[in-house]
């Protein structure tokens, strides 16, 4: 590489010590919080973290039904992974799949009454765990900052 080519290559940016400490703390949080929530859900309701959120998203939809592709987006998972999970939840009677009457090329996931009842039974302990681990340890200003920071980072991710 010539001297000119070397001068055109930008030096990599590195985190400052403070930025690195923030990043490492955030990464520990991202890794440990889902595991802590999953542990509670598995113990109390035999649901994984993502299964709980799939059921919760379904419960919030009109007629408790949504296209599988839209549910995969809401659950932040691949459609193939969601399909396997939905199969497991179907075996437990928590939901079923049916063709979308508006467009038969799509499949709807539909939350059953048994799934709704299981979710309603699981929700209080899950919410209590979220309150204990996150909400109760933060001031109202901290919560607003966390929401603002989350929204900012997610918007940057979505733009890419």
The pLDDT averaged over each successive group of 10 residues in the chain (160 residues) is: 63 95 96 95 96 96 95 91 95 97 94 98 97 97 97 93
Which pLDDT belongs to residue 3? Answer: 57
- Does domain 15-159 sit in CATH 1.10.3720.10? no
Query: Residue 126 contacts by C-beta under 8 Å, 6 or more apart in sequence?
Result: 37, 40, 41, 44, 45, 52
Question: What is the pTM (predicted TM-score) of this model?
Answer: 0.83
Question: Do residues 90 and 96 lie in contact, with contact meaning Cβ atoms separated by under 8 Å?
Answer: yes
Q: Note the pLDDT of residue 7.
A: 58
């Amino acid at each position: 590489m010539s001297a000119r080519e070397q001068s055109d290559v930008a030096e990599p940016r590195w985190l400052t010590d403070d930025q690195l400490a923030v990043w490492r703390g955030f990464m520990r949080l991202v890794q440990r919080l889902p595991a802590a929530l999953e542990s509670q859900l598995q113990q109390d309701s035999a649901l994984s973290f993502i299964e709980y959120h799939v059921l919760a998203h379904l419960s919030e939809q009109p007629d408790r039904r949504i296209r599988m592709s839209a549910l995969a987006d809401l659950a932040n998972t691949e459609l193939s992974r969601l399909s396997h999970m939905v199969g497991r939840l179907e075996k437990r009677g928590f939901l079923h799949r049916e063709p979308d009457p508006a467009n038969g090329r799509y499949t709807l996931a539909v939350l059953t009454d048994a799934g709704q009842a299981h979710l309603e039974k699981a929700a209080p302990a899950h919410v209590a765990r979220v309150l204990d681990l996150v909400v109760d340890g933060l001031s109202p200003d901290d919560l607003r900052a966390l929401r603002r920071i989350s929204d900012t980072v997610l918007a940057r991710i979505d733009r890419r």
